[in-house]
Chain A
């Protein structure tokens, strides 16, 4: 049987950047897996995920988050239809423990199909204190165009700090 799960591109930032983009993604795989270890230079710990440079209202998402605060856990949920991006939560911010980076994974099945694209996110932000959390998100990109680029930015206008890393893998089912 053939092996699959191939690294398409990986990079660790040598200097801060407002965005990171995977472009010219080959159409030769079945699914895509994005792994990010990131940190922002502002207090907002949310990011934005966009496909194909598309900023129209074709995105929506639903998330459930468990945040460690005074009590053992606090589960919240929030949904955003007709959005212009898929929310990318759970990135360490400037107010979290220094030298700590988040752990984020996105799975995007059938990214070349001429159908709407469901998205799965599992994001973790730990910092050995309160306000650490885990977020699980279902997203949808209502476009039938094959995905050839993925862009990640801060939701609050900040930058990815130096040391943030971005890895994109392709998965083949045959």
Chain B
């Protein structure tokens, strides 16, 4: 099922130097869904980031996590949060962790559901996460901000790409 013209890169960012934020702004409303793809690789061992939509700092975000580290399978939840969290548990500073975020009907006038994946195996440690998220806003999403935690920075070479997906 080649998606052909229905799957298009909207924008991509590759950092030439370390930076604490990556922003996609002026996201067009011409797609059905959007997908964010990036490798989480930071300057310290925190290896965590958060994501904010439309610069909204309200308590409009919630997430339910299923995760495994090879020893324990866990489920957890954040309610009334001010961001979507990405993390792989701070296991390594040399191996990138692969992350995706799908936001469905991002330009619609209902709350936004999201599916998040984090895949961070570190050869004997690391985590796998699958997360369902909800952004309780009826506004179309026009901006995505990815930010590191605790004054950390994304390493040079970090690439993030935003794709648009059309259903017709």
- Please indicate the chain B residues that have their CB under 8 angstroms from the CB of A68 in the complex: none
Q: Are A120 and B123 in contact, CB atoms less than 8 angstroms apart?
A: no
Asked whether any CB of chain A lies closer than 8 Å to the CB of B119, the reply is yes
Query: In the complex, which residues 1-38 of chain B have their Cβ closer than 8 Å to any Cβ of chain A?
Result: 1-10, 12, 37
- With contacts A62-B70, A139-B121, A140-B121 taken as known, whether A5 is within 8 angstroms of B4 at the C-beta atoms is yes
Cα–Cα, bound, A121→B121 (Å): 12
Asked whether any CB of chain B lies closer than 8 Å to the CB of A163, the reply is no
A76 to chain B, nearest CB (A): 6
- With contacts A30-B161, A120-B117 taken as known, whether A79 is within 8 angstroms of B2 at the C-beta atoms is no
Query: In the complex, which residues 78-118 of chain B have their Cβ closer than 8 Å to any Cβ of chain A?
Result: 94-98, 100, 117-118
Q: Are A77 and B2 in contact, CB atoms less than 8 angstroms apart?
A: no
- With contacts A7-B2, A110-B39, A118-B39 taken as known, whether A172 is within 8 angstroms of B9 at the C-beta atoms is yes
Q: Are A118 and B120 in contact, CB atoms less than 8 angstroms apart?
A: yes
- From A79, which residue of chain B is reached at the shortest CB distance? B70
Cα–Cα, bound, A78→B120 (Å): 14
Binding site for A on B (CB under 8 A): 1-10, 12, 37, 39, 66-73, 75, 94-98, 100, 117-128, 130, 159, 161, 163
- With contacts A118-B39, A118-B119, A173-B9 taken as known, whether A77 is within 8 angstroms of B69 at the C-beta atoms is yes
Number of A-B residue pairs, CB cutoff 8 Å, is: 141
- Please indicate the chain B residues that have their CB under 8 angstroms from the CB of A66 in the complex: 66
- Please indicate the chain B residues that have their CB under 8 angstroms from the CB of A2 in the complex: 8-9
Q: Are A75 and B159 in contact, CB atoms less than 8 angstroms apart?
A: no
A69 to chain B, nearest CB (A): 14
Asked whether any CB of chain B lies closer than 8 Å to the CB of A107, the reply is yes
Q: Are A139 and B119 in contact, CB atoms less than 8 angstroms apart?
A: yes
- Please indicate the chain B residues that have their CB under 8 angstroms from the CB of A7 in the complex: 2
Q: Are A142 and B128 in contact, CB atoms less than 8 angstroms apart?
A: no
Q: Chain A interface secondary structure, helix, strand, loop or mixed?
A: strand
Q: Are A138 and B127 in contact, CB atoms less than 8 angstroms apart?
A: yes
- From A57, which residue of chain B is reached at the shortest CB distance? B123
| Residue in contact with B124 in the complex, picked from A1, A81, A138, A167, CB distance below 8 Å | A81
Cα–Cα, bound, A120→B119 (Å): 6
- Please indicate the chain A residues that have their CB under 8 angstroms from the CB of B126 in the complex: 60, 62, 79, 138, 140
Q: Are B66 and A136 in contact, CB atoms less than 8 angstroms apart?
A: yes
Cα–Cα, bound, A173→B70 (Å): 32
- Please indicate the chain A residues that have their CB under 8 angstroms from the CB of B75 in the complex: 75
Cβ contacts A to B, 20 pairs, < 8 Å: A1-B9, A2-B9, A3-B5, A3-B6, A3-B8, A62-B128, A64-B128, A77-B72, A78-B68, A79-B69, A82-B123, A109-B98, A115-B96, A136-B68, A136-B117, A138-B98, A140-B95, A142-B123, A169-B2, A174-B9
- From A167, which residue of chain B is reached at the shortest CB distance? B1
- From B5, which residue of chain A is reached at the shortest CB distance? A3
Q: Are B128 and A107 in contact, CB atoms less than 8 angstroms apart?
A: no
